[in-house]
Amino acid sequence: MSNSNSSMAAQAVAHVYAVTGATGTLGRAIVGALAGPADRHIVLVGRSQSALEEVAAGAAASNSAIHIVAGADAAQPAQAAQAVVSKLRDVVAALPGGRVRLVLVQNAGTLSDLSKAVDQYGEDEIASYTTVNFVAFAALTARFLEFAKGTAAERITVVNITSLLAVKAFANWGLYAATRAARDQLMRVVAEEHAEDPRVKTLSYAPGPLEGDMQASVRATVGDAVQREQYARMHREGKLVRPADTARLVCDLVHSGGYESGSHVDVFDLMPPPE
């Protein structure tokens, strides 16, 4: 091996991540799990500048470089996708060269109105919800892949934060479940389209029922009484998943690459479920 090849082999890999929904309970936990090493650049994506700055401040003690994309409104999918990719392009262009790995963590999303059954949805409600929770997701996936494949990145990963509801039906979760199922399927399609390109992998990761604001809202609003009691009991008994635990698991999985591209992995595939 020549000296130049030896130097390249020994060169550290620069890891560049974009995390959407970075100000939410899980988003903050994912940023916390990623932050640390100096070879990591983390792009925080969300709507609120002040909330993103708060998350960035929490990661400031690490050696990682933290970047912010504020004003990314999923109700405007094209503009949001353009803003994220533009920031990623700037980050990659500023790197000194060498080996790069790019990871997009698609964590942004909203709850649907869990008090409603499917026959109670209005047309405008359906259109608005699917724009924010699927169209924006698909648009950013498309633009990220287009950008990343044009770089010299040695690994390109899209992580879809999904849910058990993508594969199992529960009452009152119609819009939420349908968009999560669509997101999962898009990840499978991307995996198929890149079956001959070992750089590109996708993962759909279900983080479990998390302790936090979103789960509190579910307990307060879900129309199905059985689910309402089940989640309330899990909360009382401390059996909801801690955000830091599930964030660490998915980040470790992504770093290891130990999953089949396009697969749906549940947190309880990686840790024992509560008794």
Residue at 203 is within a domain: yes
Residue with tokens 């932050």: 35
Q: What single DSSP character describes residue 121?
A: -
Q: How far is CA 4 from CA 1, 7, 10, 98, 151, in A?
A: 8, 5, 10, 12, 21
Residue at 56 is within a domain: yes
pLDDT at 128: 98
Please give the distance of CA 215 from its chain centroid, rounded to a whole number.
Answer: 18
Q: Determine how many CB atoms are found less than 10 A away from the CB of residue 118.
A: 12
Q: Which residue type sits at 159?
A: V
pLDDT at 61: 86
Q: How many domains does the chain have?
A: 1
Q: How far is CA 62 from CA 31, 55, 81, 155, 249, in A?
A: 11, 12, 27, 24, 19
User: What CATH number is given to the structural domain containing 176?
Assistant: 3.40.50.720
What does pTM read for this prediction? Answer: 0.94
Mean pLDDT by 10 residues, the chain (275 residues): 44 92 97 96 97 94 95 96 98 92 97 96 98 98 98 97 97 97 98 98 97 89 92 92 97 97 98 83
Expressed as residue numbers, the domain containing 162 is: 12-209+242-266
Residue at 201 is within a domain: yes
Residue at 215 is within a domain: no
Residue at 233 is within a domain: no
pLDDT at 6: 41
Residue at 61 is within a domain: yes
Question: How would DSSP label each residue in 30-70?
Answer: HHHHH--STTEEEEEE-S-HHHHHHHHHHHTTSSSEEEEE-
pLDDT at 98: 82
